[in-house]
Amino acid sequence: MPVITYREAVRHALAEELERDPNVVVMGEEVAQFNGAYKVTEGLLARFGPQRIVDTPISEAGFIGVGIGASMLGIRPVMELMFWSFYSVAFDQILNNAANVRYMSGGQIHCPIVIRGPANGGTNVGATHSHTPENVLANHPGVKVVVPSTPADAKGLLKSAIRDNDPVFFLENTMLYGEKGEVPAGEHVVPLGLADVKRAGTDLTIVTYGRSVLHSLAAAEVLEREHKISTEVLDLRTIRPLDFDSVLKSVAKTHRVLIVEEQKPFASVGSQLAYMIQREAFDELDGPIHRLATVDAPAIYSPPVEVEQLPNPRRVLQAALETLA
């Protein structure tokens, strides 16, 4: 199976869907002539031309709104946000218009738009560029939220997202763009709302998603090797819809749960998960649910300290041992 980077996997998904459906348009800042701020869209302009690969001005409310309007008439825009952090200047378009138009029209309209881009900390760019808004987005019924952790998932989930008739918000990670992994060539589609056991185990379940999956897998290695603890790492992949059956299945197996998320703790994805687990699997739990989140402050710039603000293998390991204590 070909080994490619996460960045290439996203690009392959875009190219294959552009090839498959003439209504797919890629639009965003620097996606065409510049070849992508993070080179995700490199080469697409040369291959598909300026009608399909469209550079926009720095004008997120404007161009996201244009994409939403175009999607109501049957175009399938895949909008790139250079950083998901910039969603705040297009909040009304994304979460009033895209999220609500189907409902407010009594189901007469659907909005098949994808908004994608990186949403992560860890790159020393300070608080304005380090937002992880998956909890904010998923708080809006009508939208779907995807956070892939591996190249194969990035490709397969993006293809599903582009084919989906609801608005899908696809959160990538600049720290993952260079990560490599095996990705099936050609048609490889991963359905939204299906979690994946990235490592099987029997003593502890780590429920996680995005880059925190990698940290959790690294910690699981140490737990196995140094502490003889068998850890199951469950990658949610999609936040909404949520594959909660897989969470329940894993909890029933291990009876101990740690949630790891690159999220500020207040009203996070983990908060929702913890509520649901205690509500639906109370009798399966042998101890309180633990959670490891981003340390609760705006993203710090200082490079070595930012590492300690975010989940990392050392912090996951410590949290896992506390969960089992």
Partner 1 sequence: MSKKPTAKEATTTAAIDHAQAPVNARLTPEERIELFRKMVRIRRFEERSLRAYQAKKIGGFLHLYIGQEAVAVGCCSLMGPHDHVITAYRDHGHAIAVGMDTKPLMAELYGKATGCSKGKGGSMHYFDPSRNFWGGHGIVGGQIPLGAGLAYALKYKGLKGAAMAFMGDGAVNQGAVHEAYNLASLWNLPVVFVIENNGYSMGTSQARSSAGELAQRAAGYDMQWGQCNGHDVYEVRAMMDKFLTLARETGKPSTVEIDTYRYRGHSVADPDNTYRSKQEIEEYRRTRDPIQLFQDKLLAEGVLTPALAEQIDTEARAEADVAADFSEASPFPTPADIQTDVYWEADNPSERRSQGRLFFT
Between CA 44 and CA 15 the distance in angstroms is: 7
Please give the DSSP secondary-structure letter assigned to residue 24: E
Does position 250 interact with partner 1 (CB under 8 A)? The reply is no
Does position 156 interact with partner 1 (CB under 8 A)? The reply is no
* Spatial contact of 58 and 7, defined as CB atoms under 8 Å apart: no
Choose the stretch contacting partner 1; rule: CB under 8 A; options: 208-216, 240-248, 290-298, 299-307.
Answer: 240-248
SS3 call for 268: coil
Q: Cα angle vertex 223, ends 288, 121, to 5°?
A: 75
- Closest contact distance (angstroms) between CB of 188 and partner 1 is 15
Of 12, 129, 188, 290, catalytic = 129
Could you give the maximum distance between any two Cα atoms of the chain, in Å?
59
- Strands of the sheet with 114-118, listed across from one edge: 53-55, 24-28, 76-80, 114-118, 168-172, 144-146, 238-240
Residue 188 is among the residues annotated as catalytic for this protein: no
Binding residue for partner 1 (CB under 8 A) from 5, 41, 85, 93? 93
Among candidate residues 231, 232, 233, the one with its CA nearest the CA of residue 208: 233
Choose the stretch contacting partner 1; rule: CB under 8 A; options: 64-72, 128-136, 225-233, 305-313.
Answer: 64-72
Binding residue for partner 1 (CB under 8 A) from 17, 153, 164, 262? 164
Nearer to partner 1, 73 or 325 (CB): 73
Does position 187 interact with partner 1 (CB under 8 A)? The reply is no
Does position 1 interact with partner 1 (CB under 8 A)? The reply is no
Sign of the C-alpha dihedral computed for residues 254, 276, 210 and 293 taken in this order: negative
Which residues are designated catalytic?
A: 129
Name the site residues for partner 1 (rule: CB under 8 A). Answer: 25, 51, 56-57, 59, 61-75, 92-93, 96-97, 101-110, 141-142, 144, 160, 163-166, 191-195, 238, 240-245, 272, 276
